[in-house]
């Protein structure tokens, strides 16, 4: 089983992704996460490029205790017509104090002539001088051949000469870079094979995703003989991003059988991917292969029916291998198999031929026709299923709701909600102010209920989304409101639909509160019946 070394450049190349700006502490935390996975190399950044990069390496040398990964400092070859020993970039690499350094040099003669404005001979000397100097100072040097594939297409003889200059000077790995991200997969494979016949050195691959080929190109390069893969977590990187290690590593391990990361490490991939997205302050993409929440989500009834018989029928691998899980989505496309499967996941047992299953399916189809959507709002879906089956517990009922939004003279717009809530035979009349009408309604309802259900203090609304369902209807259009709530342990989504945004929000809030009360009930208590009817109230 051939060993493939994984080289992460999230902290350098990934930081060039639009919207990302890592702090020093962010970078330290990500290093620790990558180390826990056993990533071979972590490129920490470009020391000397700015004060924050230099600070990171200074802090890392004192605080970062990596157990399995090697921290790498990144930089370029010396400047044109300068002395390598006096070059600021090269000396910053030494000052970083890392065992490994990566330098990039020009491979494409276009860049040599038009960007560096120097000769091909001087460029070769820049490469050899820099690698030789760093090797002589005890550093292990990885050489990134920038724009290698474009350079090879334009002038293959010179492109290979640049590799030989680096290898002869002491570079231990030569990395072929598709810097512009435009090379197609078949050509990547062919060029790597050709290079292997011309220079006998360990090769690596570094690809960008401008033609959406980065993952495929990286895998093809490994199949052609590369032993190191460079990329970023979640594919972060400049322009369209870099090769996504979250997709590459499982493919290498599970599809091709290469020795890269351990099976235990890969079981942490979903959590690590989300952790890095959160640290980068980026949304985790639901559709991301292997680790996205939609990667193993099934919606069509035919698919789900087959899945219940054999998961291999519609899944290319076991989701648990990357720490993910299978999800059954309920929509108007669902069949009774989907309903029964999803109900079972929620602890509601029913047979495929039961009247409850058909009732739920009909309700879902009718409600989705009205604009509801339960794929994200699984808390509302669970309540729908409970109400259609044996569940009859009622926690509270609403007698009245009033919401006022007022612009006060000389002041700000204020929102006020008044609710009349009945718990058993007791009626509570509560008024609450809020930052907006949704906040005011949520505050008023929980204020009315907290004496009876104290654990409501530990929940709050964390996200609010509105979707206009038919823009052609203008202000009379229906809206769908999704609300995310969370407590100390969980978060959940609920949904409401109406022509009135206040009423749609109120429906979602009611479901959110009821779901919280239901999930906090002791096991077995949700079977107790109550004659009291739960009504949603009216928005006025």
Are 417 and 438 in contact by the 8 Å Cβ rule? The answer is no
284-298 per-position pLDDT tens digit: 888 899 998 878 877
70-126 per-position pLDDT tens digit: 999 999 999 998 999 999 999 999 999 999 999 999 999 999 999 999 999 999 999
Neighbour tally for 421: CB within 10 Å: 22
CA 218 – CA 273 distance, rounded (Å): 19
CA separation, residue 443 to residues 129, 401, 439, 446, 483 (Å)? 68, 13, 6, 5, 14
User: Which of 46-50, 162-166, 274-278 holds the top average pLDDT?
Assistant: 162-166
pLDDT at 530 over 50: no
4-38 per-position pLDDT tens digit: 999 999 999 999 999 899 999 999 999 999 999 99
pTM higher than 0.95 for the full model? Answer: no
Are 116 and 141 in contact by the 8 Å Cβ rule? The answer is no
Mean pLDDT on 193-211: 97
Are 233 and 14 in contact by the 8 Å Cβ rule? The answer is yes
Note the pLDDT of residue 536: 43
Are 431 and 401 in contact by the 8 Å Cβ rule? The answer is no
CA separation, residue 422 to residues 10, 535, 538 (Å)? 54, 10, 15
> Which residues, listed in sequence order, are joined to residue 482 by a DSSP beta bridge?
465, 495
pLDDT at 539 over 70: no
Instruction: Give all domains of the chain, ordered by start, each with its CATH number.
Output: 5-261 (3.20.20.70), 297-377 (no CATH), 397-527 (3.30.160.270)
Please report, rounded to a whole number, the percentage of residues in the chain having pLDDT higher than 90: 64
pLDDT at 535 over 50: no
Residues 6+ apart with CB under 8 A from 493: 376, 377, 378, 379, 380, 482, 483, 484, 485
Two tokens at 315? 């899944």
């Amino acid at each position: 089983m051939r060993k493939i070394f994984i080289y992460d450049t999230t902290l350098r190349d990934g930081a060039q992704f639009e919207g990302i700006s890592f702090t020093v502490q962010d970078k330290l935390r990500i290093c620790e996460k990558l180390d826990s996975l056993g990533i071979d190399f972590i490129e920490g950044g470009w020391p000397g490029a700015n004060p924050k990069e230099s600070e990171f390496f200074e802090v890392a040398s004192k605080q970062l205790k990596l157990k399995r990964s090697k921290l790498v400092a990144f930089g370029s070859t010396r400047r044109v017509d300068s002395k390598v020993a006096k070059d600021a970039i090269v000396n910053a690499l030494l000052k970083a104090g890392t065992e490994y350094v990566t330098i990039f040099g020009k491979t494409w003669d276009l860049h040599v002539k038009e960007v560096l404005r120097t000769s091909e001979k001087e460029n070769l000397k820049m490469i050899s001088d820099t690698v030789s100097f760093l090797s002589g100072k005890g550093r292990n040097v990885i050489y990134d051949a920038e724009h290698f594939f474009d350079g090879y297409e334009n002038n293959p003889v010179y492109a290979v000469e640049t590799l030989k200059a680096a290898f002869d000077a002491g570079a231990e790995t030569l990395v072929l870079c598709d810097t512009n991200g435009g090379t197609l997969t078949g050509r990547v494979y062919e060029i790597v094979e050709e290079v292997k016949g011309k220079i006998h050195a360990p090769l690596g691959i570094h690809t960008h995703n401008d033609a959406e080929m980065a993952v495929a190109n990286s895998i093809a390069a490994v199949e052609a003989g590369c032993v190191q893969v460079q990329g970023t977590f979640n594919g972060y990187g400049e322009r369209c991003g870099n090769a996504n290690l979250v997709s590459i590593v499982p493919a290498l391990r599970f599809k091709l059988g290469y020795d890269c990361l351990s099976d235990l490490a890969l079981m942490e991939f979903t959590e690590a991917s989300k952790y890095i997205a959160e640290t980068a302050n980026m949304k985790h993409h639901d559709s991301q292969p292997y680790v996205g929440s939609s990667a193993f989500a099934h919606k069509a009834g035919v698919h789900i029916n087959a899945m219940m018989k054999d998961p291999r029928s519609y899944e290319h691998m076991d989701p648990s291998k990357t720490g993910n899980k299978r999800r059954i989505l309920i929509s108007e496309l669902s069949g009774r198999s989907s309903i029964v499967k999803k109900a079972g996941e929620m602890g509601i047992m029913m047979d495929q031929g039961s009247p409850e299953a058909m009732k739920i399916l009909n309700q879902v189809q009718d409600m989705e026709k009205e604009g509801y959507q339960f794929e994200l709002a699984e808390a509302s879906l669970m309540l729908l299923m409970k109400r259609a089956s044996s569940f009859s517990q009622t926690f509270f009922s609403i007698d009245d709701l009033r919401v006022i939004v007022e612009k006060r003279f000389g002041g700000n717009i204020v929102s006020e909600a008044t609710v009349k809530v009945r718990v058993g035979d007791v009626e509570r009349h509560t008024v609450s102010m809020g930052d907006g009408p949704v906040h005011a309604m949520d505050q008023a309802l929980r204020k009315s209920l907290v004496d009876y259900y104290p654990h409501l203090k530990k929940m709050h609304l964390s996200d609010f989304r509105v979707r206009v369902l038919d823009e052609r209807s203008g202000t009379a259009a229906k809206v769908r409101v999704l609300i995310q709530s969370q407590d100390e342990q969980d978060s959940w989504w609920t949904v409401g639909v109406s022509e009135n945004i206040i009423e749609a929000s109120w429906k979602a809030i009611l479901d959110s509160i009821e779901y919280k009360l239901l999930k906090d009930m002791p096991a077995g208590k949700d079977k107790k019946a109550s004659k009291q009817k739960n009504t949603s109230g009216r928005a006025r």
